């Protein structure tokens, strides 16, 4: 196996929600300052993620966030928007990595070598760290969005298609941060436009 001097782990949060951005993080860990407890962000409580995110930001050799918003997702689809967010995260690193490990099946186009790793957030600490930073950052954005649009409950479900969220969509229609290319939102808009006296898409 080739040894690289600087290896960045990359992961994302927010592919499945009906609203909000997809956020990616890139992390280069410092071998001299290991971080205990790193694992897939989904296996951690919100409190544990917040604690670890603070430690990662303090101890990592380098880290960066990238995002693609709902308009990007609607324009180029969720897979391409995810790869765009990942590329932005890597490009935002203060030091360019020599190699990038990406969780999943697909790789963004980068100036360095890149490798997709299925289950990477359980196999590589740098990807676990990226998973945590991406999740914490995106959750914070959705809490802020909840302050602007409290009727949707973004603070609780973070934009995922829960029963509460779907009911709020039916009741209030989509807000500007909903992903109109996702079937539940698209179908609702089409139904409303075809109904007599139906409201227009905001």
172 found inside a domain = no
Containing structural domain, residue 23: 7-147
Q: Which two tokens stand for residue 132?
A: 């945590």
- In this structure, what CATH number is given to the domain that contains residue 74? 3.30.420.10
Can you tell me the distance from the alpha carbon of 71 to that of 73, in angstroms, rounded to the nearest whole number?
Answer: 5
What was the pLDDT predicted at 195? 61
Q: Which two tokens stand for residue 186?
A: 């698209």
160 found inside a domain = no
What was the pLDDT predicted at 14? 98
Whole-structure pTM value: 0.92
186 found inside a domain = no
Can you tell me the distance from the alpha carbon of 10 to that of 4, in angstroms, rounded to the nearest whole number?
Answer: 16
187 found inside a domain = no
What was the pLDDT predicted at 40? 82
168 found inside a domain = no
Please enumerate in sequence order all residues whose Cβ is within 8 A of that of 164, keeping only pairs 6 or more positions apart, or say none.
153, 156, 157
Can you tell me the distance from the alpha carbon of 84 to that of 31, in angstroms, rounded to the nearest whole number?
Answer: 28
84-113 pLDDT, tens per residue? Answer: 999 999 999 999 999 999 999 999 999 999
In this predicted model, which residue has the larger pLDDT, 185 or 4? 185
Range list of H helices, the chain: 46-59, 70-76, 78-91, 120-123, 125-148, 154-157, 163-172, 183-194
171-186 pLDDT, tens per residue? Answer: 999 999 999 999 999 9
Task: Kindly give the pairing relationship between strand 113-117 and strand 99-103.
Answer: parallel
| Residue 21 backbone phi and psi in degrees, to 5 | -85, 170
163 found inside a domain = no
What percentage of residues in the chain have a pLDDT greater than 70? 94
In this predicted model, which residue has the larger pLDDT, 126 or 195? 126
Domain total in the chain:
1
108-129 pLDDT, tens per residue? Answer: 999 999 999 999 999 999 999 9
167 found inside a domain = no
9-31 pLDDT, tens per residue? Answer: 999 999 999 999 999 999 999 99
**pLDDT interval class at 196 (50, 70, 90):** low
What was the pLDDT predicted at 175? 97
99 found inside a domain = yes
| Averaged confidence pLDDT in the chain | 94
- Rounded mean pLDDT of 39-65? 95
């Amino acid at each position: 196996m080739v040894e690289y001097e600087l290896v960045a782990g990359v992961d994302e949060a927010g592919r499945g929600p009906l609203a909000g951005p997809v956020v990616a993080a890139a992390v280069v860990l410092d071998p001299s300052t290991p971080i205990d407890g790193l694992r897939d962000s989904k296996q951690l409580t919100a409190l544990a993620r917040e604690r670890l995110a603070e430690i990662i930001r303090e101890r990592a050799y380098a880290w960066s966030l990238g995002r693609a918003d709902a308009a990007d997702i609607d324009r180029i689809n969720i897979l391409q928007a995810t790869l765009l967010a990942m590329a932005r995260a890597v490009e935002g690193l203060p030091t360019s990595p020599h190699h990038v490990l990406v969780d999943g099946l697909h790789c963004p186009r980068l100036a360095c070598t890149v490798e997709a790793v299925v289950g990477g957030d359980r196999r590589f600490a740098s990807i676990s760290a990226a998973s945590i930073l991406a999740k914490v950052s995106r959750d914070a954005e959705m809490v802020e969005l909840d302050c602007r649009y409290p009727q949707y409950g973004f603070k609780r479900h973070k934009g995922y298609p829960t029963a509460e969220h779907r009911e709020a969509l039916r009741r209030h229609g989509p807000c500007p941060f909903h992903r109109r290319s996702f079937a539940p939102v698209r179908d609702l808009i089409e139904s409303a436009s075809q109904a007599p006296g139906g409201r227009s898409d905001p």
